[in-house]
């Protein structure tokens, strides 16, 4: 177990360093291509209730996806981190103005107007990750928020969103790590084998 923990920590450090080298322009251009791939994907087109993440500066940004999905009449949820570390909920947002600056200077749902959706109601979850492998295994930031949440989202299709450089042959995982079924990058959408 300790060997796996160290392997995850080392890999996290290496991949995050690559991600942090990206310029704002590269992030913006890649995010646009990633969104375009998603818009033509039948699973996205048919999904009614979608959860996605609010990006850190060097992650694929999903603002275009949020705007597109809301314009199409879809229900959009973003993570709401509970006071208890490692636990999160799906918070419904009506527009990008429903977000406020929260912990770590990241956008978060406004606690004053919080409206939650049961995870079992989600059709599609776009999952962030530090790294993914081609079988859909995911290396997260290490706090376990998504691993715990995804257990409750039993009917949702799971697609991991990352830069192509974050897709590896294999990533170290533990038994509780939930894999995704598809990978979304600036290069396209790929089913996991």
Output the six-digit token pair for 132.
């993914």
User: Known binder of ligand: residue 53?
Assistant: no
User: Known binder of ligand: residue 146?
Assistant: yes
How many CA atoms lie within 13 Å of 35's alpha carbon, on the beta-carbon side? 18
User: Known binder of ligand: residue 143?
Assistant: yes
User: Known binder of ligand: residue 140?
Assistant: yes
The Cα-based distances of 165 to 36, 59, 103, 129, 131 in angstroms read 19, 12, 27, 12, 9
User: Known binder of ligand: residue 1?
Assistant: no
How many CB atoms within 10 Å of residue 142? Answer: 11
User: Known binder of ligand: residue 141?
Assistant: yes
User: Known binder of ligand: residue 74?
Assistant: no
User: Known binder of ligand: residue 52?
Assistant: no
User: Known binder of ligand: residue 9?
Assistant: yes
Output the six-digit token pair for 37.
């791939």
User: Known binder of ligand: residue 144?
Assistant: yes
User: Known binder of ligand: residue 188?
Assistant: no
User: Known binder of ligand: residue 182?
Assistant: no
CB proximity list for 50: less than 8 A, separation 6 or greater: 44, 69, 74, 75, 76, 77, 122, 123, 124, 125, 126
Which positions make up the binding site for ATP? 8-12, 138-146
Which positions make up the binding site? 8-12, 54, 59, 138-146
Which positions make up the binding site for substrate? 54, 59
């Amino acid at each position: 177990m300790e060997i796996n923990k160290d392997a995850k920590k080392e890999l996290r450090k290496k991949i995050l360093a690559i991600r942090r080298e990206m310029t704002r322009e590269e992030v913006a251009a890649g995010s646009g291509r990633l969104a375009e791939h998603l818009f033509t994907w039948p699973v996205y087109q048919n999904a009614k209730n979608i959860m996605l993440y609010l990006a850190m500066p060097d992650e694929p940004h999903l603002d275009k996806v949020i705007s597109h999905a809301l314009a199409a009449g879809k229900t959009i949820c973003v993570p709401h981190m509970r006071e208890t570390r490692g636990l999160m909920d799906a918070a419904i947002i009506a527009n990008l103005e429903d977000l406020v600056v929260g912990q770590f200077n990241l956008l978060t749902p406004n606690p004053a107007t919080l409206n939650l959706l049961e995870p079992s109601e989600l059709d599609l979850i776009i999952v962030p990750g530090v790294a993914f492998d081609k079988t859909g295994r995911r290396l997260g930031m290490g706090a376990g928020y998504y691993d715990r949440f995804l257990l409750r989202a039993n009917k949702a299709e799971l697609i991991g969103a990352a830069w192509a450089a974050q897709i590896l042959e294999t990533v170290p995982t533990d038994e509780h790590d939930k894999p995704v079924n598809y990978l979304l990058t600036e290069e396209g959408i790929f089913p996991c084998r």
